[in-house]
Amino acid sequence: MSDLLKLDNVTVRYPGKRGQSDLVALDNVSLTIRAGETLGLVGESGSGKTTLSQVALQLLGFDKKVTTS
Tell me which of 5-14, 37-46, 47-56, 60-69 is least confident: 60-69
AA letter at 17 = K
Q: Give the least confident one: 7-16, 45-54, 60-69.
A: 60-69
**29 band by pLDDT with thresholds 50, 70 and 90:** very high
How much is the pTM?
0.76
Query: Which are the contacts of 61, defined by CB distance < 8 A and separation ≥ 6?
Result: none
Percent above pLDDT 90 for the chain: 48
Residue (of 50, 46, 52) closest to 27 by Cα position: 52
